[in-house]
Structure 1
Amino acid sequence: MKVSIGSAAKSVLLAGCALGGAPQVHAQTNPDASLGQSAEEEYENEAIGEPIIVTAQRRSQNVQDVPIAISAFGGDTLTEASIRDPRDLTLLVPSLSMQAGTAASTTSLFIRGVGIGDFNSNTTGAVGVYVDDVFLGANSGKLFNVFDSEGIEILKGPQGTLYGRNTTAGAIRFSSRKPTDYFTADANILYGRFDEFVAEAGVGGPIVGEALTFRAAGTYHRRDGTTLNRVTGNQVNDIDRWALRGIIDLRPTDDLLLRLSVHGGKSTGGARQFQHRGQGVDFFGNPATLPDGTPTDGLGYADTDDDIFAGDYNVEGAERISTFGASLTGELQLGSVLLTSITAYEQVNRETLEDTDASPADLVVAYYEDRPRQFSQEVRLQSDDGGDFNWIIGGYYFHDELKTDNAFDLLRSLRDPNDLLGTFDPVNSLGLLRYPYTQDTDSYALFGQADIPLTERLTATAGLRYSHDTIAMEYRSLFDAIGGIAPTKAYSDVTVPILDFSGEESFEDLSWRLALNYDLDETLVYASFSKGYNSGGFAGGASTDLVQLQPFGSEKLYAYEVGLKTEILNRLVQFNAAAFYYDYRDLQVFVFDLTGPIPVQRKVNAGNARVYGFEADTTIRPSRNFDLFASITLLDGKYEEFDAFGGAAFSGNRMVNAPEFSAAGGVNFRFPLGASGDLKARIDGSYTSSIFLFPDNDPVSRVDDHGQVNARLAWQNASESLELAMWGKNIFGEKYITSYAPVITSDQLNYNDPSTYGVQLILKY
């Protein structure tokens, strides 16, 4: 019998809200409070009533003293909640959502309904992702760095002052564990359903006393496929990836720290195998159904078994991704002033073969190849005297070169295999469409922010950032008469040029943040007005018309927010709440133009939208042996002005990925066993009301309300150096769509993972 979210996850959330009000999970460790803070000091924050330290404003602060809505999670919390990449954070943060792409690479993130559901290689998105203060621009490869984690901070709302590029929605800041001047080692080994195996380990300590220290860590994750390919009998949607990171700290003097960080990784698992849904029409728009009325695609195929973990695939997708990056961070103390420099380089090599039509026929097969290379330099000068007046000024430079060679093999099943040239027909999309392009981005910014005490309790925050972006695109599209991409790429020289486009656009903006916060001892009340900016650019999808390549403009978001952060009973009860209003102008939207027989990708400015919202979180921790946490987000996001192509009007429609209600919550128990250690139990759940994945609000892009429940039971020895656990994720097997895209006479659907469960071993020294 299927257990619905109403009787499972929803009951967990309602129980949490009844006990604790309205909620959110917070960290138990400090996600890198400062370069100089030791891990020993950070772990002290796990004690009952100790403050949670974050660096959202580029300095160490109690999260309750920062006039920004923040969700922060320490490394132990991420481990216990089975958070393995940024997509899993949606299980803990109700206002964070995503649209899934391929198995190991692309994903589109949204915060409070703000984001861009564009899976193409040149999209940076509206949520900035940072690893140890380095902005990651590539759309692929962002999922490799969430291991050996000290903590993660999710900053909600536009972060247009202190953070790099394109943060109209917010920012996700990941911090890795740093070197220590004492020896430390840890390991986390997990085994579960589908022969899943995850191993993560790290070691660190002194090389030359406190002057030279190191931290080295790695992770390996493999899992058999969760989906049966009925054509071959193989299991698909498998995972196979690893990553390594090494960090060295050099402290030649007490006033100088140099930190070198090098990381890399590789994924050789499968690309996503989607579910097929026929549109019920043939290639000429005539009805196409099975005798029982089931809609088919244009070739008469329909997947009829209602099993989302099985399909008929003539092409089994493969994905090859390799990443490499390095950064050099310098921190120089100049009396009461701190100078920080961060120089970073990142590169990704990605190749993905995808069975786009998710059927046994060759209607659409995709091949994606991209090679992003980015360099960034940030310099900051800030006060560091511990006083009430705090200021920071800085500059930022970002360069990215992206080279792609993508292709769609279209309608090969309709072509005569013995007469490819004779049936090659670019006009009707019979052929291999290639669209190689190069995009160069240069961005620089100057920024500053200050906290100015007006009275003993009242503080004003003022920040300003000037941004300038130049984006140049060299784009070609052509039809390859006899080439192919499955099972391997085999381009030919027999081509028909379609487009040859060259363009360059520059964008500039002035964004800001103004805030007032009033300190009432255990309560902080704040109000803020901020502006975020996401630069314009060029669409990166398959184009056969120059109209598709016309630049889209920058989007701007004006955010008004009031909030409350309070702690009572010696920090045993924490309650935070925020209400916000967004004036969202010229927002960028990724859509499919369905006015013709072939779906056409377009990226456009959708006029204006507005978002109202309220979110609240609570954590109740009456003792070391029990805590309860819960969070809710209420959201009303609608397009106010959106006239699309073909005369379609989307004004008044709900925004993409903007649930009206979402929640997360759970409980942690610890049962002391004396000298035998402790028994630990955790149960948590999440719930999201219905959403639409495209702005037309067509029922085919609607995702019904859904959620899931997770559980964990563990034994930990008295010294906390050994932990054995049993865990279950999505234990009631809830099924829901995570992405949708129209293909040719069919729809491509992506679903969440099935129930998984297993055992875990954690070692610490």
Structure 2
Amino acid sequence: MTTRHHPAAHPAAQFRPSLLSLAALAALLPTAPTWAQDATAGAEAGKLTTITVTAERREENALEVPMSITTLRGEALDVINSSGEDLRMLSGRVPSLNIESSFGRAFPRFYIRGYGNTDFRLNASQPVSLILDDIVQENPILKGFPIFDSEGVEVLAGPQGTLFGRNTPAGVVKFDSVKPQKTFGGYGSLSYGTYGTVNAEGAINLPVDEQWQARVSLQSQHRDNWVTNEAPAPVVQQTHKLEGYDDNAVRAQLLYGAGTPFSALFNVHARDLNGSARLFRANIIQSGTNDLADGFDKSKVSLDGKNEQKLSSTGANAHLTWAFDGYKLHSITGFEKVHSFSRGDVDGGYGASYLPYMGPGLIPFSSETADGLRAHQQWTQELRAESATSGPLSWQSGLYFFHEKYAMDAYSYDSTSGGAQTGLSTTTQTNNSWAAFGSVNYAIAPDVTVRAGLRYTHDWKKLSTDPGDVAVDASAGLSDTVSSNKVTGDLAATWSITKDTNLYARIATGYRGASILPASGFNPMSNADPETTTSYEAGVKSELFDRRARVTANVFHYDVKNQQLTAVGGASNSTLLLSAKKAMGEGVEMTLDAYLTENLLLNLNGSVNTTKIKDKNLVVAGCALCTVTDPAGTVSGTYHIDGNPLPQAPKYVANANLRYSLPMADGSEFYVYTDWTYRSKINFFLYESTEFTGKSLTQGGLRLGYVWGNGKYEVAAFGRNITNKVVVNGAIDFNNLTGFINEPRTFGAQFKAMF
């Protein structure tokens, strides 16, 4: 939906990381508690398994990779996915990661170390890239593809400007599906919970012969409509019940020649989503505070607009590998196509101030809009060579090509006349890019390894708007073309101070391509130059107490030049693309895993982030009915945002899991698993205000389970958001205090079986 809103960051105290503070952290390691997020089961009782990652495009022990990498796998993923949530469930599960959305399940926005993009347009670019089975998911609608039958999630913090390229200056979130195996087998999982929530997931592995193996995986999620529209007469309700969904996805893979000189992996996948768009609620924030309004009821709304969301996507990719004497060649070809339509009542209520009726509270004017993405296609091709020798030198090099084209439709409706369509404009965008890259690793001593890489990228983008029957602001034109060339890279070193402890340091650069904002009835077309990032990071990774514990810790600082920001709302309800001369972020992150006893596993991680916009001349329009705390600009209704934190950038993020196992004599097991996440307060917009500052949020889950049949069967009861915490976690700057809330509390039961 074309909405005017955005979550932002919070005021943060100055924090300056240093090598001295890193040394202090390292000194504490032998006595620190420790944890690993995929350490749900050890090869030996009470011991952690080795974490293998592919952050550098090849399998490596995570302790040996000189960057901040956090993984989420196995039981930790299954627990948070059991209640039918979407990708936003990952928010706060690893250090410095925040995910939010004003589109609900269709359009997640990722932030790493406070660095992201609150832009809600369908052509928005993000500085966090999502990679699914080695294919970049560029359009924001593609980024919402569900997680199921997954090897796990890897979060790579900081610029990834060598091996992954443009639009990765904040980092990468990487998903890898379970690949076909040579033996028959599979699994099935079914959960049912509050609001009729169903989460069904399964996979079957089919060995065809010695050369061919297949794997088919699927997920089906459902929730009943649980929010009732109570708009009174004479309002004509277009949608009576809301917040339900049906979200189905499937993946089929075919593998040839595993373990032979030539192998080929083919992947076809699809998704179909039908349900509610994000539910906006008018005047749910008490004026002068950031509390929920008196009498707020999460199960009720009063709307005269229609709410619906539909999405369908298909994709395919082929990964071909040739193994030669001393090196390998890879060809990775990908195609993605997505169609979406999202419609909602932006004003969050019914009627308007110029009509005899309106509510709840002030509705300045009626606004019902929809956004549609169609004719989308994305093609990617990577050709990569890598060394396959055991000497001190290893290398990678390659070429990458990207093409994307689509059309965006912007609709407007008259809610007060039964939702009649009043306008339609269409914007088309084409984006072409290519890159050449290379990376070298060299062991300059038995205990010291250096890594270095460079990438050259050329990026070209064209946007054109056909206003149709909409009166748009054409003062800056209706079409534009931008292009840029950038060189990015990284330099890192790892020092093994013992066989179980590594220190590392890394300098990396990244960039995000130029962006174009189409013209609309509220604002002229605008564009922003590419933003570039330089990051400095140092850390320590260690296994302790004979693999009973594991710890990683790091400090970092980054600077962003020409950061692209989206200013939304204000008294004029405009949407503008801005560039801040500079922004910065710095902080500390830790991840700890430990078996406190043979049967008690603690997982704990957290981060402290400080972000700041640094542009003394940058001003934005402020809200009409809230209390802005920033200095006023020279133009009435505008405010200086120099010194403000970045949007959606909590200072503190923490996650803790605790699992206690009670083994039985027959080999079965009872267990208790609890998980908790915390994020501190956030700003919803670029300016700071009392009402549009989101409260801190703590959410917990509890799971009681029984496993039997040598681990083949499991039954569990679970609860999510068990304290029933309800907060405003996003808002719309729409001349009233409209917002939306977090996911509700749910309880349920789950059964899993492996075969």
TM-score (structure 1 length as normaliser):
0.85
Structure 1 partner of 2:601: 627
Q: String of CA shifts for 1:307-366, please: whole Å, max 9, x gaps.
A: 233210122411110010000110110112011111010000101111111102271101
Once the 2 structures are TM-superposed, how far is the Cα of residue 124 of structure 1 from its aligned partner?
2.7
The reply on whether 1:250 has 2:225 as its aligned counterpart is no
The aligned counterpart of 2:657 is: 666
> Which residue in the other structure is 2:713 paired with?
722
Aligned to 1:732: 723
Counterpart position of 2:4:
none
* 1:445-467 superposed Cα distances (whole Å, 9 cap, x missing partner): 11111111111111111111111
Structure 1 residue 517, shift from structure 2 partner: 1.2
Partner of 1:701: 692
Distance change >3 Å, CA 358–CA 389, structure 1 → 2:
same
Is residue 2:453 matched to residue 1:463? yes
Distance 2:35 2:740 in 1: 28
Checking the alignment, whether the CA contact within 8 Å between 2:465 and 2:519 is kept in structure 1 is: no
Tell me the equivalent position of 2:615: 641
What per-residue deviation string (whole Å, max 9, x for no partner) do you get for residues 480-538 of structure 1? 5xxxxxxxxxxxxxx89967612111012111101111012211101111111001120
CA 501–215 in structure 1, closer or farther in 2 if over 3 Å, else same? same
Secondary structure of the equivalent of 1:122?
A: coil
Aligned to 1:229: 229
Select the residue among 244, 250, 258 that pairs with 1:238: 244
Whole-angstrom distance in 2 between the partners of 1:315 and 1:24 = 48
Aligned residue identity for 1:534: R
Alignment correspondent of 1:582: 558
Q: Give me the whole-angstrom Cα distance separating, in 1, the residues matched to 2:346 and 2:152.
A: 36
Query: 1:375: which partner in 2?
Result: 379
Identical counterparts, % of pairs: 25
Q: Which moved more, 1:47-56 or 1:565-574?
A: 47-56
Rate the CA distance shift 1:24–1:99 in 2: closer, same or farther, 3 A.
Answer: farther
Deviates more, 1:674-683 or 1:638-647: 638-647
Aligned letter for 2:639?
Answer: A
> Which residue of structure 2 aligns with residue 215 of structure 1?
215
Which whole-Å CA distance do the structure 1 matches of 2:517 and 2:550 have between them? 44
Q: Is the 1:405–1:435 Cα contact (8 Å) retained in structure 2?
A: yes
* Cα displacement (A) at 1:472: 0.3
Partner Cα distance (1:437, 1:379) in 2 = 32
- Post-superposition CA distance 1:612-639 (Å, at most 9, x none): 2011111002555221011121111111
Contact 1:164 1:396 in 2 (8 A): no
1:107 to partner: Cα distance:
1.9
Is residue 58 of structure 1 aligned with residue 57 of structure 2? yes
Please state if 1:561 is matched with 2:537: yes
Cα drift, residue 278 of structure 1: 7.6
- SS of the residue 2:155 aligns to: strand
Which residue of 405, 408, 411 corresponds with 1:404?
408
Q: What does residue range 421-432 of structure 1 map to in structure 2 within 5 Å?
A: 432=422
Which deviations, in whole Å up to 9, do the C-alpha atoms of 1:37-94 show, x marking residues without a partner? xxxxx99699833311001001111111111111112233210233753311114124
| Residue of structure 2 equivalent to 1:453 | 443
Of 270, 275, 278, the residue aligned with 1:272 is 278
Which residue is equivalent to 2:169? Answer: 168
Alpha-carbon deviations, 1:714-757, whole Å to 9, x = none? 000041110000011000011222221212x3243121111111
* Larger displacement relative to structure 2 (270-279 or 690-699): 270-279
- 1:479 CA drift (Å): 4.2
CA drift of 1:145 comes to: 3.5
CA RMSD of aligned residues (A): 2.7
For 1:117, the aligned partner's letter is: T
Query: For the residues of structure 2 that align with 1:625 and 1:397, how far apart are their CA atoms?
Result: 49
2:489 aligns with 512
Query: Aligned AA for 2:248?
Result: W
The AA in structure 1 aligned to 2:546 is N
Q: Provide the rounded CA distance (Å) in 1 between the counterparts of 2:285 and 2:213.
A: 60
| 2: CA distance, partners of 1:239 / 1:540 | 31
Q: Choose the corresponding residue for 2:508, options 520, 525, 530.
A: 530
Aligned counterpart in structure 2 of residue 572 of structure 1, from 538, 541, 548: 548
Give the alignment partner of residue 713 of structure 1, picking from 704, 710, 727: 704
Change beyond 3 A, Cα 1:167–1:676: same
AA aligned to 1:708 is Q
Alpha carbons of 1:692 and 1:45: their partners in 2 closer, same or farther (altered >3 Å)?
farther
Letter in 1 for 2:531: E
Residues 1:540 and 1:711: Cα distance change in structure 2 (over 3 Å): farther
Shift of 1:551: 1.8
How many residues align? The count is 685
CA contact (8 A) 1:28 1:46 kept: no
Checking the alignment, whether the CA contact within 8 Å between 1:20 and 1:630 is kept in structure 2 is: no
For the residues of structure 1 that align with 2:98 and 2:49, how far apart are their CA atoms? 30
Deviation digits for residues 87-123 of structure 1 (CA, Å, limit 9, x no counterpart)? 1111412411122222221121100000001111001
| CA drift at 1:644 | 2.2
Instruction: Quote the residue 2:576 is aligned against.
Output: 602
Distance 2:619 2:107 in 1: 26
- 2:181 maps to which residue? 180
Q: What SS is found at the alignment partner of 2:57?
A: coil
1:26 has 2:43 as partner: no
Letter in 2 for 1:174: F
Secondary structure in structure 2 of the residue aligned to 1:64 = helix
Shift of 1:543: 4.9
Distance 1:205 1:43, change over 3 A: farther
Give the equivalent residue in structure 1 for 2:113. Answer: 112
Q: Which segment is superposed worse, 78-87 or 386-395?
A: 78-87
Q: Secondary structure at the match of 2:91?
A: helix
For 2:146 and 2:695, locate their aligned partners in 1 and report how far apart those are by CA, in whole Å.
Answer: 31
Kindly provide the amino acid, as one letter, of the partner of residue 600 in structure 1.
S
Q: Compute the TM-score of the two structures, normalised by the length of structure 2.
A: 0.86
Verify the 8 A CA contact 1:24 1:632 in the aligned structure 2.
no
* Corresponding letter in the other structure for 2:392: D
Give the distance between the partners of 1:627 and 1:279, measured in 2 at CA: 40
* 1:575 maps to amino acid: V
Of 432-441 and 65-74, the range deviating more from structure 2: 432-441
Query: Which amino acid letter does the alignment assign opposite residue 54 of structure 1?
Result: V
Deviation at 1:220, TM superposition (A): 0.6
Rounded to whole Å, the distance in 1 between the matches of 2:335 and 2:367 is 36
Residue type of the alignment partner of 1:509? K
- Residue ranges of structure 2 left out of the alignment (5+ in a row): 1-27, 232-236, 353-365, 621-634
Is the aligned partner of 1:139 residue 2:140?
yes
Is residue 321 of structure 2 the alignment partner of residue 331 of structure 1? yes
Distance 1:712 1:122, change over 3 A: same
- Which residue number in structure 1 is paired with residue 13 of structure 2? none
- Does structure 2 retain, via aligned residues, the 8 Å contact 1:114–1:126? yes
Partner of 1:690: 681
